Structure 1
Amino acid sequence: MMKSLFPIIDNNEFSVPDVFDNFFNNFMWPQQQFSMPKVDIEDRGSEYVMTADLPGVNKEDIHLSYDNNVLTLSTTQQAENNTQDDQKNYICRERSSSSFCRQFPVTGIQEDQIHASFDNGVLTIVLPKDAQQVQPDHTINIQ
Structure 2
Amino acid sequence: MNSLFPVVDNGFSVPDVFDNFFNRFMWPSEFSSTMPKVDIEDKGSEYVMTADLPGVQKEDIHLSYDNNVLTLAASHNEQKDSQDEQHNYIRKERSSHTFCRQFTVRNIQKDGIQAAFKDGVLTVTLPKEDPKKVAEAHRIEVK
Aligned to 2:123: 124
SS of the equivalent of 1:83 reads coil
Contact persistence 2:34–2:99 (CA under 8 A): no
Aligned to 1:10: none
SS of the equivalent of 2:83 reads helix
Contact persistence 2:42–2:48 (CA under 8 A): yes
Aligned to 1:96: 95
Structure 1: gaps of 5 or more residues: 1-30, 135-143
Q: TM-score, normalised by structure 2?
A: 0.64
Regions of 4+ moved over 4 Å? none
1:1-143 to 2 correspondence within 5 Å? Answer: 32=30, 34-131=33-130, 132-133=133-134
Post-superposition Cα deviations, 1:38-78, rounded to whole Å, max 9, x if no partner, equal: 21111122111111122222222211111111100011011
Structure 2: gaps of 5 or more residues: 1-28, 136-143
Kindly provide the amino acid, as one letter, of the partner of residue 118 in structure 1.
F
| RMSD after superposition | 2.1
Inter-partner Cα distance in structure 2 for 1:49 and 1:73: 14
Q: CA deviation at 1:98?
A: 0.8
Q: TM-score, normalised by structure 1?
A: 0.64
Range with greater deviation from structure 2 (35-44 or 59-68) = 35-44
- Percent of aligned pairs sharing the same letter: 62
Kindly provide the amino acid, as one letter, of the partner of residue 76 in structure 1.
S
Kindly provide the amino acid, as one letter, of the partner of residue 63 in structure 1.
H
Inter-partner Cα distance in structure 2 for 1:133 and 1:47: 15
